Amino acid sequence: MPEEPPTILVVDDDQFIRELLRRVMEKEGYKVVEATNGEQGLDVYQRLKPHLVMLDALMPVMDGFTCCKHLQKLSDEDETSPDSEHLEAQGLQGVSQTPVLMITNLDDPESVDRAFAVGATDYITKPIHLAVLRQRVRRLIQQFQLYQKLEQANRELQRLATLDGLTGVANRRRFDQYLDDEWWRMIREESPLSLILCDIDFFKKYNDTYGHQAGDACLRRVADALRFCAKRSVDLVARYGGEEFAIVLPNTTTIGASLVAEELRSLVHGLKITHAASAISEYVTLSLGVASLYPEPDTPPAKLVAEADMALYQAKASGRNRYVAKV
């Protein structure tokens, strides 16, 4: 698939300039779209998300300075990645935003300063020196595309850094972070937070009987089942340790969490993963501990984990393949 050419948005009330810029830029291989004033420019920007905006300063309806200010805001709203903060901390302010090149008759120092103050990336004056324009455009678009790629790569890295490599559910690091975040959110909302800790029964024997690779495959299937059960967008399934998983259930009471726990138990048992060495079933089973509380600022989230762990211990001690809820 050939890559789409970068798009340039030309905002100018002068038809002659628009046509000139279109001709020159299309010859360079770019796609060109036009707007005749700032307001229209913002509208086209939002619809087409161009790679560069060429902006005239003086236009009817909305001038270039005002338009540029609005463009910065829109561009900021588009930024979802925390990398932009990173880049800005390194003094690379605005590098990840759509570049705005002001092309204008105004060459007094105040206008130049004003343009940069409202967020213009670069500034050239009319009459346009076409060779200079071509080079500036090429550089601005190259830079923008480079930062877009960098941000995408960083986002992917960040995503991978929060996942467990074997099962694809959240890893322990993400779990700790999420539990802490939700702890504080539930304090603000005065809402209950539940946690289920679950552990595969006689998993050491499973490994000993079927081998480590089969053990890994079993972990993956159990993780998929857990993910299937924890349906709400705020629920988080994480691999807590070797064969132990955790499910964080915000805005959920003991009753709700117990229902989920029983569903998980029954689903995993229903997978019918043969486990000939299990002392309690012919299939792989789970033991689960449920804890739920209304978080408070002077209690650490570790309290919830400790309670769920205690309940899990009781589920093991009282026969496995069951859940116990801390009351």
Q: Which residues bind ligand GH3 (CB under 6 A)?
A: 166, 199-205, 207, 212, 215-216, 219, 242-243, 316, 320
- Using CA atoms, how far apart are residues 148 and 91, in angstroms rounded to an integer? 17
Check binding of 245 to Mg ion (CB under 5 A): no
Query: From the CB of 310, what's the least distance to ligand GH3, in Å?
Result: 15
Which residues carry out catalysis? 243
When CB distances are held under 5 to 8 angstroms depending on the partner's kind, the choice from ligand GH3, Mg ion, none that residue 319 binds is: none
Which is nearest to 177 in space by CA: 246, 253, 270, 264?
246
Which amino acid is present at 9? L
- Using CA atoms, how far apart are residues 97 and 79, in angstroms rounded to an integer? 8
When CB distances are held under 5 to 8 angstroms depending on the partner's kind, the choice from Mg ion, ligand GH3, none that residue 221 binds is: none
- Applying the rule CB under 5 A, the residues between 183 and 202 that interact with Mg ion are 199-200
Long-range contacts from 170-178, C-beta under 8 angstroms, 24+ separation? 170/236, 170/237, 170/238, 170/239, 171/238, 171/239, 172/238, 172/239, 172/240, 172/241, 174/236, 174/238, 175/236, 175/238, 175/240, 175/246, 175/248, 178/236, 178/238, 178/248
Query: From the CB of 309, what's the least distance to Mg ion, in Å?
Result: 13
Query: From the CB of 206, what's the least distance to Mg ion, in Å?
Result: 9
Query: From the CB of 240, what's the least distance to ligand GH3, in Å?
Result: 11
As given in the structure block, the two tokens for residue 234 are 């705020």
Residue among 59 and 284 whose Cβ is closer to ligand GH3: 284
From candidates 30, 45, 147, 203, binder to Mg ion by CB under 5 A: 203
Residue among 113 and 216 whose Cβ is closer to Mg ion: 216
Query: From the CB of 245, what's the least distance to Mg ion, in Å?
Result: 11
- Using CA atoms, how far apart are residues 290 and 310, in angstroms rounded to an integer? 9
Check binding of 309 to Mg ion (CB under 5 A): no
Instruction: Give the x/- contact pattern for Mg ion in 148-187, rule: CB under 5 A.
Output: ----------------------------------------
Check binding of 206 to Mg ion (CB under 5 A): no
- Using CA atoms, how far apart are residues 153 and 262, in angstroms rounded to an integer? 40
Q: What residues line the site for Mg ion (CB under 5 A)? A: 199-200, 203
